[in-house]
Amino acid sequence: MLCLNFKTLSLCSPILILSHIVGFAQLSDEFCKDLKKFGEFYENPDSSGLQQAELFLSYQHQIGHIDGTDQTGKAFDDSFEEFRRFWMGLTGKFGTYWKFKVVSQLSNDRNAYPGDYRQWGHETFRAANITFDADQFWQIEGLDALQFGYGRRTGRMADEWQRSSTVINCLERSSFANKLWLYDKKKGNPLAAWVKWTSGKHTFDTAVFSSTYDDYIGGWEDSKIYYGSWLGDFSEGSSYELLEYWISYYKQDGSAEEDRLAGGNEWALSLVNRVGAGPWAVHSTLAFGDNGDQTNPNREGDFGGIVLMPMYWLKDEKLKLVGRYLYQKADQTKGLKLNSRYAPLADARNSSIDLNNGRGDEHQAVYLGLNYYLCGENLKVISGIQHDELKSTGFTQYRGWTIGSSIRLWF
């Protein structure tokens, strides 16, 4: 059996065993093609009703270990194992111009939390929307695509949120990327109405998001966010294989007494650049915003940060080296927050340490990871190590290392 030993703790997990067995196996091209198309079960383009339907599944099993010191200098360590994601859904096309997407979260793994339980079954919908292909319907000259949509969808701001969890480059998104994300009170994607169109190199996305939570669709009773983005793809004709710029902005209209998105952020502006050629690529995010009105004034004020993510294929389409540097700063002493994995979890599980609830006003993090792709993005093992330093008013609240590994499968 394959195990990791951390001091007196032995951590053994099926994910490590599986990754050890198949991690460097040469899966056949036929197997990978079948995996990618596994969910496709219906197609009838001549039908006036349902024309295409396929199942969606995302499964991720993850382990992690943290070793650090709290704000008093007290050393601690903790280990975690969890079903990171288990989602199933259905996507399809009907009536020639219409598409639908419904994805259910089927796991609520709190094995790593105080309380220690695992719950299976439908928890909430991660996506539930319908879109209309207006360009195909109207054949508008000068537009390559025009889409109208309604339902639950992602409000993307940072580069790391441009890629879904199924094709993510790092073990976890950075805390700064998550801070910009338009999440609802259940840490999911909110209800929205949107228009998205493409003309040549330019893609525009405008949307109104509602913070009113409901398991399926919801309503418009609480605060609203007005969102707009522009994506320019200048890869063609440049000396790079990849050259993209992306600007996105949102403004929230609502009071602290209402349900709000993005933890109550009043506004945020994000500037993203992606450049790459051959085996290497660099993605970057520069963003600013305002925390908005909070119940604790120490969590208000402006914030800003930068994320740089260089990547290099050690073996084309098989083995990728991924780095990431994060720096973020806030005006107030608790204007920033670490990701829930894994420092705040360790803080909640160990009453003898104090990490200031994972909050501070300055945060730096460096990540180095290695990804092995057995079937491209559809079956891969992501492993990485990260060092964090969180400060508040110049005093270190947390400093430490996190190491983790995850096997991810989807179709």
Domain CATH for 278: 2.40.160.10
pLDDT tens figures, 302-322: 999 999 999 999 999 999 999
CB of 303 closer than 8 Å to CB of 283:
no
User: According to the model, what pLDDT value does residue 216 have?
Assistant: 77
Q: What are the C-alpha distances in Å from 112 to residues 61, 66, 206, 348, 409?
A: 13, 12, 38, 10, 21
Query: Which pTM does this prediction carry?
Result: 0.90
User: According to the model, what pLDDT value does residue 119 have?
Assistant: 77
Q: Which residue has the higher pLDDT, 116 or 405?
A: 405
How many residues in total does the chain contain? Answer: 411
The verdict on residue 338 lying in a domain is yes
Residues facing residue 382 across a β-bridge: 371, 406
DSSP 3-state assignment of 344?
Answer: helix
pLDDT tens figures, 327-346: 999 999 999 999 888 888 88
Q: What are the C-alpha distances in Å from 237 to residues 88, 204, 233, 277, 351?
A: 40, 21, 10, 13, 58
Alpha carbon distance 60, 82 (integer Å)? 9
Query: Element (H or E) spanning 18, and its range?
Result: helix 14-22
The verdict on residue 3 lying in a domain is no
What separation, in Å, do the N-terminal and C-terminal C-alpha atoms of the chain show?
Answer: 29
User: According to the model, what pLDDT value does residue 277 have?
Assistant: 97
Q: For the ranges 39-53, 115-129, 239-253, which has the lowest average pLDDT?
A: 115-129
The verdict on residue 291 lying in a domain is yes
CB of 312 closer than 8 Å to CB of 324:
no
What distance lies between CA 91 and its chain's CA centroid? 20
Domain count, the chain: 1
pLDDT tens figures, 254-282: 998 899 999 999 999 999 999 999 999 99
Which of these, 201, 215, 206, lies nearest to 243 by C-alpha position?
A: 201
The verdict on residue 177 lying in a domain is yes
Q: What are the C-alpha distances in Å from 395 to residues 33, 71, 77, 159, 361?
A: 52, 8, 21, 30, 10
> pLDDT exceeding 70 applies to what percent of the chain?
92
Tokens found for residue 126? 């991660």
pLDDT category at 28 given cuts 50, 70, 90 is: confident
Question: Angle at CA 320, nearest 5°, toward 318 and 323?
Answer: 170
pLDDT category at 113 given cuts 50, 70, 90 is: low
Q: What domain range is 160 assigned to?
A: 36-410
